[in-house]
A and B are shown apart, each in its own frame.
Chain A
Amino acid sequence: MTEVEKYRKPIRVLHWIHAGAFVLLFLTGLILFIPGLGFLAEDSWTRVIHRIGAAIFIIIPLIYLIVNPRSVLRGIKLAFTWNSDDIGWIQALPGYYFRGDESKMPPQGEMNTGQKLWWLIVLVFGLLFTITGLIMWFAKTSAPPGLLQGMVLIHDISFIVAGTMFLVHIYNGVFHPLFNEAWSAITGGKVSAEYAKKHHGKWYAEISKGKD
C-alpha cells in the first residue's frame, strides 16, 4: 500500500511540544475554575508551572517562525483562505460526522474545513492568550487594576473557546472512527494514499500530478 507524507518532521515536533505545553497550561489553569481543587495551587506552584508552560507555548512557535518563515506564512495564509467548498463542508458535516455520509462532502485540500477552523482558533486564541497572559505576568504590579481584570476576563473566555475545541480536537484525532489515520499522520507523518484521496481529495490530486 502506498503512503504519502502528510506532516513533515519539524511540523510534528512543533505540534507535540506545543500540545504538551498547552496541556500543562490547560490543567494548571483549570484549577482556578474548580474551587475544590484550589488546594493544588497553594503556595503558587501550579502558577509557576503555568509560567513554564507559557514560556514553551510562546517561544517554540517563535523559533519555528525564525527557522522556517515561509512555512509559517503559508500556514497563516491557509488559515484565512475560505471558499464555497468550506460552506459546503459545514453543511454536509452533521451527516458526515454522525452517519459517515460522504456523498455531500466537497473535496478538501491539504487541510479540510474542520482542521482549518481549529488551526484558525489556535492562531487567534494563541495570540490572545499570549498578549493577555504576558500583561498579567509582567505588568501585574504596574498596570491599572481595571486592565488586569479585563485581561483575566479575556484569558478565561479564550480558555473556554480554545479549551472546548481542544477536547473536540483530541476526540477527532484519537477516537472518531472516520479519522482513523489522523493519529498516524501526526505521529509518523504518513497516511495511506487511499486515506489521502478520501479525506483530502484536492490535495491528493495536486501531489500526485507530477508522478503519473
Chain B
Amino acid sequence: MRVAMRLGAWLEAAIEAMLRFAKAMTSPGDTGPDARLEIAWTSGVRDATWGLALRAAPREGAVIALCRVSSGASRRTLIVQDPLPPQEGDLSYHRGYVVTITSRYWNRVIDDLSGRSPETGIAVLHTHPGRGTPLWSTDDDTADRELAAFLFGEGFLKGSAPLVSIVVSADQLRARELRWTKDAGVRMHMVTRWRTLSRSRFEFRRTADAGPDVYQPPSWADRSVRVFGRDGQRLLADVHVAFVGTGGVGSITAEDSARMGFGRMSLWDPDIIKSVNINRSGSFTFADAQRGAGKAETLAAMIGRVALVRDIWLCWRKADVRHSREFARLLDVDVINMAVDDVRVRNFVNALAYAHFIPVLDAGNVIRSTAEDDVTVDAATVEAGGARVSVLVPGGPCLWCSGHITSRKLSLAYRTEAEVTADRARGYVEHLGPEHAPSVMPMNAMTAALVELRLQDLLYGLSKRPVSEVYYDLIGGTLDELPRDRVDGCRHCELVEGLGDAAELLHADD
C-alpha cells in the first residue's frame, strides 16, 4: 500500500510536470495585433513627462515624447523616451483647465520626427489631476481619433510607427495605442502594464485595463509574505524572469527564484549536464549526467516540483539565446539573469538590455589557483578569487563601459575549441586562461545569492540607491560596491538605448 501511494504520488508529479511543459511550449505565439501591450520608460522620462505634466494641476497638463516598439512573441512594448517638453504657447486651455496641444507644439514634434528613423513614433501624455483611475473623456476619444487620422493619414507617421495616448492621474496610468488604416480607420488597443526602470528600482505595474490581479499568495508563502506582504508576493508572481545560462550559478539562481515565487520563468542553455557539473550546480544529479540530459530541461523539471507558484509559466530552451528564432521569446521577459562564460552571448544580451529596455543582472565569478592547469597536483594554493554582479539598465553603464567586455575578449570568444587547443599547444600565446575554469559550490552559491539579493533590492526598492556592481573578494573576505560610470557616447549602451526593433543585434545565425 505504501509503495502504491508513493508510485501514485510520483505519477501525479510526473503528469503535472508534463502538463506544465506542454503549456509552456505552446504558449509563445506570433506577435500580432492582439499582442499584450506594455509601456517601458526610465524613471527619468517618467518624471520628465508624467511628473512635468502634473505640475499644471489643478489644470490638465500635457507632454509629448518619442516612442519606439520592441516586438516580443506575445508582448509588444512601447518604449517611451526623448521627451519634448512644451514651451511657452505650446498648450492652450478650454474652460480654464482642459488642455489642448496647439499646432505650434505639433509642428515642433513633426519637425523633430522628420529627422528620425521611420520606426519612430509619438507618445502623447496628458493629465487628469486628482487620484485614482483616470478615465478618457468623450473629448479625449475624439481628439485621439482625429490625431491618428491626421498623423497617419498625412504620412507624418509611417504605418509601423507607434502612436500612444497616455492619460495619468496623480498615481495611476492608462494608455492605448492608436492604429490607423485607410480602410478600417482608427482602432484603439489598451496597454495593460507599464515598466519603469532606473538604476535603483525596477517597477512593474498593471493598468486598470489589465483586469483584476486574482493571484492569491498561497498559505505556504507564509514566511515570505511576512517580509514583503501579500502585494510583495503578487509582484513576484507577475514578473517574468529569464535565465540565460543555467550552469553553476544559473541553476542555483533559477531554483531559488522559483522557490521565492516568480510566476513566469524562461530558461536558456544549449549545454548538456556532465558529471563535472554536479559538485558546483543546483538541481543536477549524476543520473542526469549519465543520460546526457539538457541543463535547461532538467532545471525546468526541478522548478516544476518546487515553485511556490504552483501553476508557474515555464519555458525552457536548449538553444543559444543569440539565435534569431529565440529572439522574440526573449523580448517577452521583464528581467534577465545572465550567468554565462561566453562573451558573445554577454555582448548580445548587453545590447538587448539597452535597446529593448529589459534590465539584466550579469553574474560571474573567477578563482585563480596554482592547480588550475593541472588536476594531478596534490597541493594547491588559491591565489585570488571573486564574484561579481553587474546591473545593466538604461541610463546606467554597460559591460563595455565597465571593461568586462573588450574588443579583445570578444574576439577571442569567436575562436573554435580546436583553435584554442592548438594555441595552447604552441605555448607562447598569452592570456588564453585555464583550460577549464576552477569552480566550487560556495562561490557559485555566493554569486547566486548576490544576484537574488540585488534583484530583490531592485524590485522592492530596499536600498533606493544605484548600485551598478557589487564584488565579493574571496581572499579579502570583503563585499564592495564598485564605482562604475557610463562612457559618454558608448556605442554599446547609450547609442542603442531605446531603439527597440530598430536596433541591429548580431544573431548567431546572421
Is the pairing of A and B real?
Answer: no
